[in-house]
Structure 1
Amino acid sequence: MTPTGPFKLVTVNTAPDRARRLIGRVVEDVRDRYTIIHAANAASIDEVRQTVEEAHPDVLFTASMWTPDEARQIIAIAKEIVPGLRTFSLPQGLQVEKGPDAVVEYIKEHLPSILD
């Protein structure tokens, strides 16, 4: 089976290194099904517009440090630039409560509904 993609991904995470590590694990684990390129990370809501304009992603993930309202705001900004953008918001507090392994598993569990 040939992996689908490539999908260009932008993350919105105040900890860019952690975002890169976690997405790197996800990319590696799903590479037989999907080709995902982590194109960029916006470290704040203020960086979302410029990051999305520059990367023009297929997919945008908001990290678990954002409240549901902040995640909606981030997605609204991004969709102004890329109207058909696929988006995914991690539940607030997931990283803090359950750790990085839970974040990786949660993303992998939900990827088919986002990418297929």
Structure 2
Amino acid sequence: MSPTGPFRLVSVNTAPERAKRLIGRVVEDVKEQYTIIHAANAASIEEVRATVQEVQPNVLFTASMWTPEEAAQIISIAKEIVPDLKTFSLPQGLQVEKGPDAVVEYIKENLPALLG
């Protein structure tokens, strides 16, 4: 069976290099099931609108440094531009409390429901 996709992913993370590294690990681990292209990262809430307009992603991830309210605001902005966008918010504090491996595992566990 060939992988599902390609999915254009935008991450919203104040640490763009970390986002690139972590999502790179996820992309590599799930490449048999999904083709995911990490198209861009918005490093602030202010960058979300322009980034989503430019990339027109299928999927948007908010990182674990955002509060639930901030994540909701980011998703709201993004969905104004791409109404059927699939969105995924990491639980606040996951990276800090459990480290990068936990983030990668959490994303992988939740991808089938998101991209299904």
TM-score range, shorter chain: over 0.9
| Structure 1: 5+ residue stretches without partners | none
The 3-state SS of whatever aligns with 1:32 is coil
CA separation in 2, counterparts of 1:5 and 1:92?
28
Number of residues paired by the alignment? 116
Could you tell me the percent identity over the aligned residues? 80
The alpha carbon displacement at 1:42 in A equals 0.1
The match for 1:100 is: 100
The alpha carbon displacement at 1:16 in A equals 0.1
The match for 1:21 is: 21
The alpha carbon displacement at 1:68 in A equals 0.1
CA separation in 2, counterparts of 1:72 and 1:113?
19
Structure 1 length normalisation: TM-score?
A: 1.00
The match for 1:52 is: 52
> Could you list the runs of 4 or more consecutive aligned residues of structure 1 that deviate by over 2 angstroms after TM superposition?
none
* 1:1-116 paired onto structure 2 within 5 Å: 1-116=1-116
Structure 2 length normalisation: TM-score?
A: 1.00
What RMSD, in angstroms, separates the aligned Cα atoms of the two structures? 0.2
Query: Match of 2:56, as an amino acid?
Result: H
